[in-house]
Chains A and B, each alone.
Chain A
């Protein structure tokens, strides 16, 4: 069975390594093969960008050579897909090559779509690329006080990012001794401070306690050099605007007409593209109404690896993805908490502790073992 994995991010990498371990004998005897096509020879630990933006990590800590993370039995090529021909089980790549497959997994991820809001990219700081995170840190270093507004677009990667950046900014300003000169204002697109109700119930009193003001039902419409205007009609003046912008799926998915906004309609349990039995989707690329988080990609990859391995060995899938997501939440003051949930059970974030903050700090470094399929 020829297994083709498109995308070498967190989901694609964990899936490929997990499969290579499960199918060790089949790969050796030629009964199965795994090929990964990626846009880059480098693998980035994307959650680390949040820390780069507040000067807690250096960009060099975020990268490893992709090939060094993969099992030797995986054929790895830096040759991004430019065209999908799902009816004929093949894809065309940037180099002009055609790759055929029996099973394809699409894990191409998502990208920011700040340009969808006029003025946002030019006037706000964000942290979804290395360049943006470094730029934001430099801007913070120059900041001496005033009104900071956090504004959020939808859908966006990492559901906890708006809360985490808010709490981490408080720590940053306190460490610089300018917190008393800062007015931090948090805005959120729906009628509470977070999309997950239990998380909103935890975060809102934390904002009150820390002196953060907030405004809900605030959907960015337009941004000028000093004002962010919402669809709902309110305006917020700012000295510094920090945004978690809306995200889209990758262009190649949009161009192929495989899903609105570049997000592919996906079966929530088997993770196959709707209407296709040999096309699977994981990570940010799915249209599932669950968090676009690294842990989502991780748990989806584990379930899917088990299923594809079973398809090779016994001819049928054996497991359903249960919607599991685990998100750390940096809560400031050297503490963190987490939200864990699945399709059946909502999250229930507990009181933040230093221990969970250290767990998160440790995970930032242990991620590479996770990508290799060990954790």
Chain B
């Protein structure tokens, strides 16, 4: 009983101090933020665009592609590739790299599909 009584008194003091610490301004700001978040959440929840995007994100190959894209971007940024020298010779050399050709095919296909949509 003693311990329970102490706990009750602690909880009571906690609420009392929380009440004393609050002000109308704090309450108003918290309420305003909650209200705005609620409105954003509602719009997102009812957005057809977001629903379709979420559907896509549930497909494994889409997720894999996005992950690969992210990893590739991170690797490209981390790699210390030499600066491009420029000129037609440099361009021909880059374009003859099979990985670069794969990347171009990927982006070409993606933009083709994007235009269809």
Contact = CB atoms under 8 A, between A and B. Distances in A.
Contacts of A366: 31-32, 34-35, 38
B76 interface: no
B30 interface: yes
A362 interface: yes
B89 to A, nearest CB: 55
A367 B28 CA distance: 11
A133 B34 CA distance: 28
B70 to A, nearest CB: 33
A357 B28 CA distance: 11
Nearest to B19: A354
Contacts of B38: 366, 369, 374-375
Contact of B35 (A56, A354, A368): A368
A369 B28 contact: no
Interface in A320-375: 354, 357-358, 361-369, 372, 374-375
B22 interface: yes
B73 interface: no
Interface in B1-48: 19, 22, 24, 27-32, 34-35, 38-39, 42
A255 B34 CA distance: 43
Contacts of B24: 56, 357-358, 361
A83 B42 CA distance: 37
Interface residues of A, number: 16
A365 B35 contact: yes
Given A354-B19, A358-B22, A365 B42 contact: no
Contacts of A354: 19
A357 to B, nearest CB: 8
Nearest to A24: B46
Contacts of B42: 372, 374
Interface in B75-108: none
Nearest to A71: B46
A362 B31 contact: yes
Contacts, number: 39
B35 to A, nearest CB: 4
Interface string A184-200: 00000000000000000
Give the interface SS of chain B, mostly helix, strand, loop or mixed.
helix
Contacts of B35: 365-369
Nearest to B30: A362
Contacts of A363: 31
A372 B22 CA distance: 28
Nearest to A362: B31
B49 to A, nearest CB: 12
B39 A361 contact: no
A365 B32 contact: yes
A280 B24 CA distance: 39
A367 B27 CA distance: 14
Given A368-B39, A369-B38, A361 B31 contact: yes
Contacts of B34: 366
A172 to B, nearest CB: 14
Contacts of A357: 24
A171 to B, nearest CB: 11
A375 B24 CA distance: 21
A362 B19 contact: no
Interface in A36-52: none
Contact of A364 (B19, B22, B28): B28
Contact of B27 (A358, A372, A374): A358
A134 B22 CA distance: 27
A366 B28 CA distance: 9
Contacts of A372: 39, 42
A362 B39 contact: no
A367 B31 CA distance: 10
Q: Give the 7 A-B residue pairs with the shortest CB-CB distance, closest first.
A: A362-B31, A365-B31, A365-B32, A366-B35, A369-B35, A361-B27, A358-B27
Interface of A: 56, 354, 357-358, 361-369, 372, 374-375
9 contacts: A56-B24, A357-B24, A358-B22, A358-B24, A361-B24, A361-B31, A369-B39, A372-B39, A375-B38
Given A363-B31, A365-B32, 18 more contacts: A56-B24, A358-B24, A361-B24, A362-B27, A362-B28, A362-B31, A364-B28, A365-B28, A365-B29, A365-B35, A366-B34, A366-B35, A367-B35, A368-B35, A369-B39, A372-B39, A374-B38, A374-B39
